Amino acid sequence: MDFNLTEERQMLQDTLRRYLADRYTTSVRNTILDSDSGMSAEIWAGLAELGVIGALFSEEDGGFGGAGFDIATVFEELGRAGVVEPMLDSAILGGRLIAALGDDTQRGLLEEIIGGAAHLALAHGEPASRYDLTRVETTARVDGDEIVLNGRKAVVVNAETAGHLIVSARESGGIFDLDGISLFLVPAGTPGLALHGYPMLAGGRAAEVMLDNVRLPQSARLGAAGAGLAPLMDVIAAANVALCAECVGAMQSAVELTRSYLMTRKQFGRPIGTFQALQHRFADMLIELEQARSALINASGHLDSADRDRQIAAARNLIARVGRLVAEEAIQMHGGIAMTQEYELAHIAKRIVMADHRFGDADYHLERFIVLSAA
């Protein structure tokens, strides 16, 4: 066993950490949060230039990584700095779906994605689907040479910036069937496509996406008809590794901020970190953070294994539980200051807690783990 990062990943980690420490300060990030686009084109270009996006793709797809540990390395640093730019959406969910399923023309987008010139969004979840990946009510109907989409997609992150949406729609079967889900590459601005955008509590933007007789050529089809669920589950598995890593990075920051606050904040004539009641709770945060890091390693190392889904369910359940503990305890031990947007921890805590709402909270992943363990 070897728990060290490879030389390349170590370099990537160092470079990315330095770049974000210099460029992604609390005040820069708060400006981004208040901006209309909810992201910084400059930061995005900077990340692309550093090779951060390329690290999330394999060599055959034009990148230089793409494994679970590459994803973990990148997202841990993004999480540490509380980055809100849509790396999960454009690269992991969008880019990797195109890498997996795209024909030669569609794969042409990969270069633009990796170079930072193009954005993508995955429009899969629907108002009633919650975290259930199989529930798809949006329909796709073949009409002569065309495909017609109808339906509504919920909380589509990065929809407004994306040049293309990857839309899932049902071509056959009932709304819970595993088969019959197809994927389509829908260019922004296609007639019948309407976006209602809004900011999100933990940063970034999303939109409700309405599809009203959206007509597409057959060439918009991504992958085989009715076979979209398996590739969706693949990219969502990668997204879950990314979310685990983002939370671990963010928790690391929360713990660091708490440590230095406990050592410097004085009440009753002494640093509050000298009170044993707080020392023990701080120690518990550290113990749980190590658990979270190990769970992340388990998930990252199993991204391409047969035990993938069970490992990922375990990691997301554990990290959701630890995340809540760390976010809440960090705020509590700081007191009011942690509730102000100007203080770094406020945003970090929101990133940790709100990760619960993407692809499943602790309960959802607990149930997945139980089902997969029984199988």
Partner 1 sequence: MDLNYSDEEKAFRAEVRAFLAENLPAEVSDKVRRGISLGKEGHEKWHATLNARGWLAYNWPREFGGAEWNAVQRHIFEEECAAAYAPRIVPFGLSMLAPVLQKFGTKEQQDHYLPRILSGDDWWCQGYSEPGAGSDLASLKTRAVRDGDHYVVNGQKTWTTLGQYANWIFCLVRTDPEAKQQEGISFLLIDMSTPGITVRPIALLDGTPEVNEVFFDDVRVPVENLVGEENKGWTYAKYLLTHERTNIAGVGFSQAGLDAVKRIARIETANGRPLIENPHFAARLAQVEIDLMAMATTNMRIISQAASGQAPGVESSMLKVKGTIIRQEINDLTRRAVGPYAMPFASEAVEGDNAPIGPDYAGPVAAHYFNNRKLSIFGGSNEIQRGIIAKVKMGG
Q: Which residues bind partner 1 (CB under 8 A)?
A: 125, 127-128, 130-132, 135, 154-155, 176, 196, 198-202, 206, 208, 266-268, 272, 275, 277-278, 324, 328, 331-332, 335-336, 338-342, 346-347, 349-350, 353-354, 356-358, 361, 363-364, 366-367
Largest CA distance in the chain: 79
Least distance in Å: CB of 341 to partner 1? 4
Where do runs of H (alpha helix) occur along 207-228?
Answer: none
Least distance in Å: CB of 62 to partner 1? 31
Least distance in Å: CB of 39 to partner 1? 15
Least distance in Å: CB of 38 to partner 1? 10
- Closest C-alpha among 193, 166, 170, 174 to residue 182: 170
**What is the rounded distance in angstroms from the CA atom of residue 23 to the CA atom of residue 39?**
14
Residue 29 or 221 with smaller CB distance to partner 1 = 29
Residue 148 or 236 with smaller CB distance to partner 1 = 236
Identify the three-state secondary structure at position 189. Answer: coil
Residue 80 or 321 with smaller CB distance to partner 1 = 321
Least distance in Å: CB of 183 to partner 1? 19
Residue 61 or 160 with smaller CB distance to partner 1 = 160
The H or E element containing residue 16 is helix 7-23
Residue 77 or 361 with smaller CB distance to partner 1 = 361
Q: Position 321: which residue type?
A: R
The H or E element containing residue 95 is none
Residue 142 or 198 with smaller CB distance to partner 1 = 198
Least distance in Å: CB of 268 to partner 1? 5
Bridge pairing between strands 164-170 and 120-123? parallel
Lookup: tokens for 113: 């994605």
**What is the rounded distance in angstroms from the CA atom of residue 96 to the CA atom of residue 63?**
11
Residue 216 or 242 with smaller CB distance to partner 1 = 242
Least distance in Å: CB of 320 to partner 1? 10
List 140's β-bridge partners, or say none: 149
- The burial of 5, by beta-carbon neighbours within 10 Å (0-12 exposed, 13-18 middle, 19 or more buried), is given as middle
Distance of CA 349 to the CA centre of its chain: 16
**What is the rounded distance in angstroms from the CA atom of residue 232 to the CA atom of residue 271?**
50
